[in-house]
Chain A
Amino acid sequence: MEIAFYLSAVVAVLATLGVVTGRHPVHALLYLIVSLIAVAMVFFALGAPFAGALEIIVYAGAIMVLFVFVVMMLNLGEAAAQQERAWLRLSTWLGPAILSGVLLLVLLVTLIGADVGGRIEGETLTAKAVGTLLFGPYLVVVELAAMLLLAALVAASHLGRSEAHDEAHAVRQVPSKRTADGRGRAASERPLGDDTSNEENSR
């Protein structure tokens, strides 16, 4: 497994370099996906297939697809690439590069100087072991995490909805509202609680 580890580690480092230096956002994202898959391979090589599969499904799959969608919707053209090129000047990356170099130096010294066995191995942590834990001691936590996601969904759908959508809905609702309410609420009236209209009136 050692050769697989080193190969995928090299791919991960190169792909991450590609993310940092890439001028086109979509290219950078594609490099990032490659980098994440390479990290997943590292996990596989280290004997953690479950973490590797999660890395691919969650990061390379779900989150990166979201990233790509956002970048595509932003519709960055040649101007963005120009800007990136302008940012990639020596003066910009010199500082971070020196700092990273120091970190690399520390790592190399530790690796060479310390008494490292030089073997890569570990106990295989399977999906079954994780599942047994999740449905054993953590059962209540897992179930309530589902409730957390549901609450977050309701919250996001309440806060994330645009005003324009509400206005359109209000216009559609007017005829029925007028007959039922008897008061003929104006369509443009904002669907707010009582306090706002009151407080605005009182000032």
Chain B
Amino acid sequence: MPIGDVLPEISLTLGAVAIVLFASFVRQRQHHWAAVLALLAIGLGAGLTVAQWGGAPRLTFADVWALDGVALASKLVVLVAGALVVAMSPEWMRTDRRHGEYYALVLFALLGVIMMASASDTMELVLGVLLSSVASYPLAAYHRGWAPALEAGMKYFLIGALTNALLTIGVVVLFGLTGSTGYPDIAQALATDSDRLALTIATACVVLGLTFKLAAFPAHAWMPDVAQGSPVPSAAFLTVIPKIGAAVALARFVSLLPPDVAWRAIVASISVATMTLGNVAALRQTDVRRLLGWSSVSQSGYALMAIVVLGISDQALPALVFFLASYAIANLAAFAVVTHLRGRTALDDYRGLARHAPIAATILIVSLLSLVGIPPLVGFFGKLMLFRVTLEGGYAWLALVAVINTVVSLFYYLRIVAPMMFGSRQSAVHLLSGQWARSAMAVAGVLLIAGGLGAEALSLFTGSIRFAL
């Protein structure tokens, strides 16, 4: 049994179990040590993932677990993002009576996302989606006494239950068609003649099931509510991390399909609908957290562009992973600032922030500009790679739609930036006291700048990644 291949996952699992036990036996005031435990587990997992880097792409554990560049790179991004989320949480969750379990749930959700990214078997995909969903529902509704958080959690749960059922139906139909759940066998069975109608239905079901985790149209409706109502660290988690796993899982799944199934058209139309809807809805928001939620819906649409040209352009996968990483850092930095500002969400609360809290304001502005894709920030390189592979793949109209959307998005991001720079305020800015949130914000800001400066090196690093299958 090749235990060595899943060491990062084992370290996350052990960390989560240790935290559950720790939180059961230790007083509530000491629960912030669970955050340290979680960071240790994530750090160990990241270290073990780096140690796996460089090997030839392969499948392991009877071909259900992919160990290739895409899985490892997305795993690293997920772990770094998870560490940032953990670091911005302790002060926010301090007064919650069950503070400790929060970190266990974060680790479980991370494990689920990593499973999605590495799954080379449909059952494994279903379990990964379920694990990350089940652990995320309570994250969204962590403040049980507060109605908006419960509402967000409930919406997340209802949409999740529906789409997870669709995903399972798709997997079952696929099993009926091919008699197998492993990706290699499925690819082999589909290469020979099979029922195209049933295959299209199965594909549509699986894609719909994954749009939930991607927060892409039509299962995007939970995203703005979660961004607005959930605890801000949870919102940071849910707007970023499941998306990475789902995008990779979707890419891995569609790469199995024979060319005559219209999956490119399906994914392209979802991409256009998602980015346009997210941007149009964000235009008139006066609530910063809700605006960030809609903006992250539209960012999913951009990410899907790379999946559309998968297999046509050989740089599609590097572009996908690089864009997801750049999006993750920028969005996490924005949410870290919101956490630092104690979850202030009305646009008026951000008036004059540049004068009263210059560092937080700078990081927020830089992260928003990176989300638009202004050079030389890291988001620019992410979008540049996306547009390039889309053009290479012959989807010029899709790239054009994305460019128009990007220009539109500049408008609503600047709607936050302008009052921060030029507005004035009488009341003092209330900040979250303590060092955790402040350091998380600083680290996210530094990563954002460093990512932009080192984009060339990073893209060299990810340039050769590909699927094992």
* B104 and A202 within 8 A (CB): no
A166 surroundings in chain B (CB, below 8 A): 97
Q: How far is the CB of B337 from chain A (nearest CB, A)?
A: 14
* B105 and A192 within 8 A (CB): no
A106 surroundings in chain B (CB, below 8 A): none
CA distance A159 to B28 in the complex (A): 17
Q: Which of B126-134, B208-216, B237-245 contacts A (4 or more CB under 8 A)?
A: B126-134
* A194 and B432 within 8 A (CB): yes
Contact of B146 among A139, A154, A192 (CB under 8 A): A192
B112 surroundings in chain A (CB, below 8 A): 148, 151
CA distance A141 to B64 in the complex (A): 8
**A133-172 CB contact bits vs B (8 Å, 1 = yes)?**
0001111110011011011101101110101001001100
Does any Cβ of B come within 8 Å of A121's Cβ? no
Nearest opposing residue in chain A for B111, CB measure: A147
* A151 and B145 within 8 A (CB): no
Q: How far is the CB of B440 from chain A (nearest CB, A)?
A: 15
CA distance A132 to B134 in the complex (A): 28
Does any Cβ of A come within 8 Å of B96's Cβ? yes
**B109-122 CB contact bits vs A (8 Å, 1 = yes)?**
10110010000010
Which of A155, A157, A166, A170 has most chain B Cβ within 10 Å?
A155
Known pairs A190-B145, A193-B96; A144 contacts B137 (CB<8 A): no
Contact of B1 among A139, A181, A194 (CB under 8 A): A139
Contact of A154 among B105, B430, B432 (CB under 8 A): B105
Does any Cβ of A come within 8 Å of B220's Cβ? no
* B342 and A194 within 8 A (CB): yes
Known pairs A138-B64, A163-B145, A194-B432; A147 contacts B104 (CB<8 A): no
Contact of A195 among B63, B105, B342 (CB under 8 A): B342
* B92 and A198 within 8 A (CB): no
A144 surroundings in chain B (CB, below 8 A): 111, 115, 124, 127-128, 131
**B134-170 CB contact bits vs A (8 Å, 1 = yes)?**
1101100111111000000100000000000000000
CA distance A198 to B374 in the complex (A): 34
Nearest opposing residue in chain B for A190, CB measure: B145
Does any Cβ of A come within 8 Å of B224's Cβ? no
**CB within 8 Å: A-B pair count:** 131
CA distance A36 to B327 in the complex (A): 51
* B124 and A141 within 8 A (CB): yes
Q: How far is the CB of B123 from chain A (nearest CB, A)?
A: 5
A115 surroundings in chain B (CB, below 8 A): none
Contact of A158 among B61, B65, B101 (CB under 8 A): B101
* B98 and A158 within 8 A (CB): yes
Chain A contact surface mostly: helix
Q: How far is the CB of A41 from chain B (nearest CB, A)?
A: 26
Does any Cβ of B come within 8 Å of A196's Cβ? yes
Known pairs A140-B6, A144-B115, A192-B143; A155 contacts B124 (CB<8 A): no
CA distance A137 to B112 in the complex (A): 19
Q: How far is the CB of B416 from chain A (nearest CB, A)?
A: 18
Does any Cβ of A come within 8 Å of B17's Cβ? yes
B92 surroundings in chain A (CB, below 8 A): 193-195
Does any Cβ of A come within 8 Å of B58's Cβ? no
Q: How far is the CB of A189 from chain B (nearest CB, A)?
A: 8
Nearest opposing residue in chain B for A191, CB measure: B97
Does any Cβ of A come within 8 Å of B93's Cβ? yes
B97 surroundings in chain A (CB, below 8 A): 166, 169-170, 191
Q: How far is the CB of B116 from chain A (nearest CB, A)?
A: 11
* A159 and B121 within 8 A (CB): no
Q: How far is the CB of B122 from chain A (nearest CB, A)?
A: 10
CA distance A190 to B149 in the complex (A): 14
Q: How far is the CB of A65 from chain B (nearest CB, A)?
A: 24
Q: How far is the CB of A1 from chain B (nearest CB, A)?
A: 27
Which of A145, A150, A157 has most chain B Cβ within 10 Å?
A150
B362 surroundings in chain A (CB, below 8 A): none
* A140 and B65 within 8 A (CB): yes
CA distance A177 to B105 in the complex (A): 26
CA distance A157 to B97 in the complex (A): 13
A78 surroundings in chain B (CB, below 8 A): none
CA distance A150 to B101 in the complex (A): 12
Within 8 A of A (CB), among B13-53: 13, 16-17, 20, 28-29
* B62 and A194 within 8 A (CB): no
Question: Which residues of A come within 8 Å of B, CB atoms?
Answer: 136-141, 144-145, 147-148, 150-152, 154-155, 157-159, 161, 163, 166, 169-170, 173, 177, 180-181, 190-196, 198-199, 202
Q: A195-B231, A196-B145 are in contact. List 13 more A-B contacts (CB 8 A).
A: A137-B61, A140-B61, A141-B121, A144-B131, A148-B130, A155-B105, A155-B137, A158-B144, A177-B29, A191-B97, A193-B92, A193-B93, A193-B146
Some 21 contacts from A to B, beta carbons below 8 A apart, are A139-B61, A140-B124, A144-B124, A150-B16, A151-B105, A154-B101, A154-B138, A155-B105, A158-B105, A158-B144, A159-B137, A159-B153, A161-B144, A169-B97, A193-B93, A193-B146, A194-B91, A194-B343, A195-B231, A195-B343, A199-B345
Sort A-B residue pairs by CB-CB distance and give the 7 closest, nearest first.
A195-B343, A151-B108, A137-B62, A191-B97, A155-B138, A151-B135, A148-B131
